[in-house]
Structures are given as structure tokens and as C-alpha cells.
Amino acid sequence: MSTKIGKNDTIYKPVNKSKYIGKTGYCVCRSSWEGIFCKWCDNNPSILEWVSEPLAIPYIDKTQKDYKGMPKRRRYYPDFLCKILNTSGDVDVWLVEIKPQKETVPPRKGKKKSKKTQVYEAKTYAVNQAKWKSAENYCNKRGWKFKILTERQLLR
């Protein structure tokens, strides 16, 4: 069940409350695709536990400088953490990021794109790559898995 709270955000209230391990008992979805994923987690019997924006992973943002002229240190909050019962009966921990497909591939230069749009897309892609590299390293150290889902996977 979801409730609208802002221009793009909704609150998803899990039906299977024991599976959602967030402190508030509900999930803030920043896109309709996140809402689809929440519903899937809530209803999928292989999902043992799940939570939204569960932790902060440090990363270096080379697109911006700090006051010393060094690349900025930032924090990345992956969209979801899920504990999933796999087919062999073991539990896998997954960090999941929900993103539009266009932000997961290098931007294309187009004749119709303004210079400002091209710079924005290039920066977005670079920042996402830095976040995801840090998330993969974080997961590898813990024996977890990292997955980026786009509308192509979510809307099948």
C-alpha cells in the first residue's frame, strides 16, 4: 500500500510488517520504480528481510572539489538491502540500487542536446560510477552482492 507524500515521493507501508526491518515501519519511495520494488520485496516469499536506504557508503566525488581543492568525500545511500533465501537454502545479502536505464550507460552526445545537458549527464554518470564502485567494494568485503535495477528489469 502506498501513500503520496511529496511531488515524487510516496510512502510504502508493508503488508508483511515482520519482513520490513526499517525503524519507521514504512518505506519512502523516491520513484514509482522503487514502489514496484517494495511491493515485490513485500510479497516475495524468498525475501526474508528488507529495508530502504539502510546505510551510508563513503565515496569520492571527483566532479567537485572541497575547500582544499581535493575531490569531495561524500556518502552514498543505496536504495535497498535485502536478505534473500537462495535456491540452495542459503541466505544472500543484496544491496540494490534502482536507477533509470539512461543513467547506467555513458551519455551520448547529441546534436539536439545543449552543452549544459551534456555536462549534466556526464557528471551524473561519473558520480554514479563512483558510488557503485564504492558499493561493490563495500559488498565484496562483507560477502554481499550489489545489483543495479532499471525500469527494464522492474517492468518485465
Residue 63 corresponds to which cell in the numbers above?
566532479
What positions carry a catalytic annotation? 34, 79, 99
pLDDT tens readout for residues 34-47: 999 999 999 999 99
Instruction: List strand residue ranges (DSSP E) for the chain, in order.
Output: 2-4, 10-12, 27-29, 47-52, 57-65, 71-76, 80-85, 91-98, 145-149
pLDDT tens readout for residues 80-119: 999 999 999 999 999 999 999 999 999 988 778 888 999 9
- For residue 59, what are the CA distances in angstroms to 21, 77, 88, 93, 123? 25, 10, 34, 21, 15
pLDDT value for 111: 77
| Pairing relationship of beta strands 10-12 and 2-4 according to DSSP bridges | antiparallel
Q: What is the pTM of this model?
A: 0.89
Side chain identity, residue 2: S
Over residues 43-59, the mean pLDDT reads: 96
Contact residues for 80 (Cβ-Cβ < 8 A; gap 6+): 37, 41, 50, 51, 52, 53, 54, 94, 95, 96, 97, 98
* Structural domains of the chain in order of their starting residue, each with its CATH number: 2-154 (3.40.1350)
Residue 2 has pLDDT above 70, yes or no: no
Question: What is the distance of C-alpha 140 from the center of its chain?
Answer: 17
